[in-house]
Amino acid sequence: MSRAIWGTVKYVSLLLATLAVLLPLSVVLFASFKTKEEYATTGPLDPPSNWFNLTNFVDAAVKSDMVAAFGNTLIVLVIALAGTILIGTMAAYAVDRFTFVGKKLVLTLFLIATLIPSVTSQVATFQLISGLGLYNTKTALVLLFMGTDIIAIYIFIQFMQSIPVSLDEAAMIDGANRWTIYWRVILPLLKPAIATVVIIKGIAIYNEFYLPSLYLQSESLISTALYRFKGPFGAQWELIAAATIIVIVPTVIAFLFLQKWIYKGLVAGAVK
Amino acid sequence: MSLSTNAPLRASLAGSLDDAVHEGERKRRRTRRRSAGPAGRGWIASVTPYLFIALAVGLLVLLTYVPAVNMIWYSLNNWTGFGPVDEFVGIDNYIKVFTEPEIFAVFGVSLYYFVASFAQMAIALYFATLLSFSTRFSNFFRGVLFFPYLINGVAIGFVFLYLFQPGGTLDTVLGWVGVTETPLWLGDASIANYSLATTSVWRYTGLNFVLFLGAIQSIPSELYEAAELDGANKWDQFRFIIFPGIRRIIGLSFILAVAGSLSVFEIPYIMTTGANGTATFVIQTLETAFHFRQVGLASAMAVVLLAIVLIVTWLQRKVFPDEKVDLT
C-alpha cells in the first residue's frame, strides 16, 4: 500500500476510534446541562443551550446520598489503602529479605490464590462475613479489599529486589533491629511502588460495585449511590446524566495527572 | 470495575511470582553472607519473618482459602444459608448444574462476551501497533483509547443505557445514515446480548491496548531496522517480529478473555438486571444463592466456574509456555 493511502487509513481509523469513545460520553455531558423541558424537546446530540446550568448537578447531589457516599468511599479508600500498603510491604520484606521454614508454602499459597477469581467464592465469603457479624459494615469492605490483593505484594516484592541488601547490612551495623530497618530504610525506598499501588488500587476501589452492593446495604459508596439513581428517578435522564458526570469527573482528573503512573503500574504487573 | 480488574495482574502472577522470588534467591545465594543482626541468631531473629508475614497470610487464608474450602462443602449439601448445614446430597447439585437448562443457558450468554473479547484483542492489537510507531498526537490517542477502562462500571452502564434508548443517541446517528427502523437494542432479547457485549468491548479494549503497547515497545528497535535493511515491509515486520515478541501477552489476554467472559457481572446487571436472556453466570449464581436461598446449588455453580477457569489456565500454560522468546 502506498504511504499516502496507509497514512490516511491510519488517521481515519484513529479518528473513528476517538469518536467512538467520546461520543457516548459527550451526549451524557450534554444531557446533564439541559433543563427538563429542554431535554424533552431536543435530541441527544444537540448541545445544551446553557453550559452553566448547574441545577441538575445540585439536584443530583442533594436528592441522593451522593455526598455521604463520597465520604464513605474516602474512608474505605484510605483505610484499605493504608492497610494494603502496610501488610503488603511487610510481607514483601519477609519474603525478599529472609529465608524461613514454610517460605515455599507461603509463596505457593499466594500463587494458587491468584488463580481463584474472586467472583467464584463470593457465596461462601458472604457466609463467612455474616458469620463474623460484619454484614452491612464498612469494615467488611475494608477487610475484603485488603485481604484479596496479591498484586500489591507482588509489586512490592519486585521493587524490593532492586533495593540492595547492603543498605540493610549498613543499618544493622549501626545497631538497627529488623523492624527499624523495615520502617526507616526499606519503606521510604519503596515510595514509587507504593505510589503505583495507591493509584491502581485506589481506582479499583472507587469503581467497585459488586462488593459494596453485596455487603453494605444501609449506606452507600459512590458506585452504589449512583446505581440507586436508576429506580426513583426513572426517566429523568438529565438528573441521572448529571450524577454520572459527577462520578466520572474525579476519574478524569486522576487520569490527567497520573497517566504515567497508571500505565506504568499496569504494564509492570503484566509484562514482567 | 470489580476486583477482577486485578485479573490481568493476577493471571500473570502464576509463574511470575515464582520467577521473581527464585531470581532473588539465586542472586542472594551468591552474594549474601550470613548476617546475624543485632538480635543475634536467637529465637527473636528466627521468628521475625513470621511476624512480618503473619497478617498477609492470615488475611489470605481467612478471605480466600476458608471460603473456597467451605464452598466445596456447601456444594455437596442443600442449604438455605440459615441454620445448620445438615442436608447432605452428594453430587446432586452438580448434576443439576449440568442438566437444568436455565443454568446451562448462562454459559451460552458467556459465549457472546467470549467472542467479543476476540474483537477486543484484535482492535487493541491494531491500535497498539499503530501507536507504537511514529504517529502524531500519539499520546492523545493513547489516552483516549485507554480512558474507558478507568470509568466506573455503574457510570458506563448508565452511559450506554442512555445511548441505547429508543430514539436515543444510537438511533439518531443511524438516522443520519438513513437507517430508520431500529430495533430495541436492549429490549429485544435476540440482540440484547450483542448490545451488552459491545458495551463490554468499549469498556475493556483500553486495557488490552495498553498491555499490547507496553509489550510492543519492549521489543528492541534494532530488530526493525535490521529487518528493513533485509527488505521486510511493515506487514512482514508485524508477522515475524511483533507477533512472536508479544506471544506472552497474547496468551495472557486469552486467559483474561475466558475468565472475563465467565465472570461478567456489572454491565448486564446494571443495564438489564440480567433480564431478557442476558443473565450471566455470576448473576445467576447470586440469584440462586440469595434470592432462591439455594446456597448449595449456587456453590456447585461456583465450583464449576472455578474448575473451568483452572483448566483453561492450565491449557494456556501448555500452549503458550512461559519461556522467554528469543527474537535474535
Which range, A120-129, B94-103, B262-271, is most confident? B262-271
ipTM of this predicted structure: 0.84
Question: Mutation test of the interface with chain B: which of A25, A119, A122, choosing the one with the most B Cβ atoms within 10 A?
Answer: A119
Name the residue in chain A with its Cα closest to that of B16: A272
CA distance to partner chain B, nearest, from residue A187 (Å): 13
Task: Answer yes or no: is pLDDT of B266 > 80.
Answer: yes
Tell whether A12 lies on the interface with B, counting CB pairs under 8 A. Answer: no
Q: Cβ of B17 and A123 within 8 Å?
A: no
Q: Indicate if the pLDDT at residue B66 is higher than 60.
A: yes
**pLDDT value of residue B199:** 92
Average pLDDT over residues B291-320: 82
CB A85 within 8 A of CB A198: yes
Burial of B19 per CB tally in 10 Å (0-12, 13-18, 19+)? exposed
- CA atoms lying within 13 Å on the CB side of residue B304: 23
Direct distance between the N- and C-terminal alpha carbons of chain B, in angstroms, rounded to an integer? 40
Q: Over 50: is that where the pLDDT of B2 sits?
A: no
CA dihedral A182, A183, A189, A193 (to 10 degrees): 90
Q: What band does A212 get if pLDDT is binned at 50, 70 and 90?
A: confident
Q: Point out which residues pair with B78 in neighbouring strands.
A: B87
Q: Which of A2, A247, A37 is nearest to B234 (CA)?
A: A2
Provide, as residue numbers in chain A, all residues whose Cβ is less than 8 Å from the Cβ of B234.
6
Are residues A195 and A30 in contact, defined by beta-carbon separation less than 8 angstroms?
no
Residue contacts between A and B (CB atoms, under 8 Å)? 336
Highest mean pLDDT among B21-35, B41-55, B154-168: B154-168
> Chain-wide mean pLDDT for chain B?
78
Higher confidence at residue B233 or residue B39? B233
**Residues contacting A89, CB < 8 A, separation 6+:** A156, A182, A186, A187, A190, A194
Angle, alpha carbons B137-B138-B142 (nearest 5°): 125
Q: Chain A residue closest to B44 (CA)?
A: A178
A25 interaction partners in chain B (CB closer than 8 Å): 159
> What's residue B38's pLDDT?
46
Asked if A27 and B151 come within 8 Å (Cβ–Cβ), the reply is no
Interface subset of A 110-169, CB within 8 angstroms of B: 110-111, 113-128, 143-151, 153-154, 157-158, 161, 165, 168-169
> What 8-state DSSP symbol labels residue A63?
H
- Give how far B156 is from chain A: nearest CA, Å: 8
Which residue reads 443517541 in cell numbers?
B169
Q: What is the mean pLDDT of residues A122-138?
A: 84
pLDDT score of A55 more than 70: yes
Q: Note the pLDDT of residue B320.
A: 66
Residue of chain B with shortest Cα separation from A31: B162
Q: How would residue A146 be classed by pLDDT, with cut points 50, 70 and 90?
A: confident
Question: Which has more pLDDT, B205 or A220?
Answer: B205
Give how far A65 is from chain B: nearest CA, Å.
16
- Separation in Å, CA of A117 to nearest CA in chain B: 7
User: In A, residues 59-118, which contact B (CB 8 Å cutoff)?
Assistant: 86-88, 90-91, 93-100, 102-103, 106-107, 109-111, 113-118
CA distance A220 to B309: 32
| Mean pLDDT of all residues in A108-125 | 78
Q: Which residues does chain B have within 8 Å of residue A20's beta carbon, measured at their own beta carbons?
A: 202
Strands B87-88 and B77-78: antiparallel
- Average pLDDT on B311-320 reads 77
How far away is chain A from the Cα of B308, in angstroms, using its nearest Cα? 11
Reference B150, options A70, A265, A207; nearest CA is A207
pLDDT > 50? residue B36: no
pLDDT at position B35 is 47
| B32 confidence band (pLDDT: 50, 70, 90) | very low
Residue owning grid cell 427502523: B181
**Residue A55 identity (one-letter amino acid):** T
Please determine, for residue A44, whether its predicted confidence score (pLDDT) is greater than 60: yes
CA distance B63 to B208: 29
Q: Find where cell 516484592 sits.
A: A157
Record the pTM.
0.81
- Greater pLDDT, A134 or B121: B121
pLDDT at A20: 92
Other CB atoms within 10 A of residue B293 CB: 15
Per-residue pLDDT, B19 = 54
Give yes or no for residue B258 having a pLDDT over 60: yes
Taking alpha carbons only, the member of B166, B228, B232, B155 closest to residue B195 is B166
B1 confidence band (pLDDT: 50, 70, 90): very low
Q: Is A178 near chain B, with CB under 8 Å?
A: yes
Q: What is the pLDDT of residue B311?
A: 85
Give phi and psi for A133, each to the nearest 5: 75, 20
Q: Which chain A residue lies closest to B247 (C-alpha atoms)?
A: A271
Q: Across residues B37-41, what is the average pLDDT?
A: 49
At B162, list the grid cell: 442512555
Judging contacts by C-beta atoms under 8 Å, the chain A residues touching residue B252 are 270
pLDDT of B70 > 80? The answer is yes
pLDDT of B321 > 70? The answer is no
